[in-house]
Chain A
Amino acid sequence: MSQLLEVSGVTVSFDGFRAINNLTFSIGPAELRAIIGPNGAGKSTFMDIVTGKTKPDSGTVTFGEKSASLLKLSEAKIARAGVGRKFQRPTVFEDQTVTENLTLALKAARSPWRVLGWRSKPADHARIEALAAQVGLADHLPRKAGELSHGQKQWLEIAMLLAQEPRLLLVDEPAAGMTLAEREKTTELLVDIAKTRAVVVVEHDMEFVRRLNCRVTVLHEGSVLAEGSLDHVTKNQDVIDVYLGRG
């Protein structure tokens, strides 16, 4: 079975501390996966490795049908190859309008010269409107992103990720700071997105993970502790010991 992303035998140390220890992970081209784990389990470092922010000491990370290595690419090149990342706190460009934010993310040439000559075409505008409608921001296109509520910013960021048309989405705690209604909507959106592309959700809120209803990977001390359905992993004694049992 061909996987979209394959991480194998990856190890990273920061000043002697092994943040990631011989981690192996893979995800298919249209799959939703939740990664859970206590603080310091290596969830963020894992995302840093896949997106190119951190270079591992050993191991391989391959992506796509041709299993191209991501380790030699810069963050920007990995993003162009089709890996999108959403940070925990919403990072939208607050000084710019929703339209401008989405335009920035829209899949298009990224080199300075090409961007200099870029002009909005009707198709681009239609795409921006469709994306905004998908996340419920259709009425907010001319507003500055800084004026949006926290949940709306989270959605704007998700819409920006979709605009990039990535093949793999890495989402860090998407529901943080959202109201209940917003969370439900986010769940639906993520499940829907995962029908056409790979989505990895890092979350430590069990209820939210339960709603996603997908395979779960439990990280602990930089390696995979258990993998399977949420019910399966919550019954695993190791998982209970290190994570769930703690209150």
Chain B
Amino acid sequence: MKALKINPLVFIIINVLAPSMYIFIKATYLLPFLMIFSACVLLLMGRFKRLGISAVIYVAMFGVYSLFMKIEALNFWGLFVLILMQSFPCAVLAVLLVSKYSSAELLSALEGLRLPRPLVVAATITLKYVPTFARELKFITESMRLRGIKFSILKPISSFRYFIAPQLFRCSALSEEVTAAGLVKGIDAPIRRTSFFEQKIRFSDVALLAVFLIGTLGGLIWAK
């Protein structure tokens, strides 16, 4: 069977809604439903290895939880494991989302939601600079080492200052260049933005979303 390509927007919508459903629907129904649902998604997308790994992790978590709930002193921690399990199916989908789609595809999916233009542009910038800054942290710690500026537990404030202050001022200097580069590329053009990476909503996307909604709404009615 050919692996299905699913519009990232489907995942985003499901993950925005699913955890909130715990307010209305019994977890004893919703959690298993979400587990089966995300397992099916992995199957449809041909991610068999990931499905296997996820299953092992889930079973292990369930084992720990059941064990802890049997021993009174550990009951409290059992509940914490349960909370982790609660978000497991969504986490599976989230990892799938991040690993399968590029940030350009993800952003264009959001544009399908007609978000205000400055917000889309701002998120584009943020998404680009998170990895950029993370890479540059190395340069900063490196040049601190070469200048003989050490992290010292005795002087936490000044150590932290050397670390963070230059980064803040660099952002401020950078923002002028980025604004200039952005304006000449039309980031403030009063035209509705289009997206090169936008995928048409297909029948399979609608179907998947429908299954999710019927499943949760069904839970609302039957599993009261």
Please indicate whether A and B come from the same complex rather than being unrelated chains: no
A positions within 8 Å CB-CB of B:
none
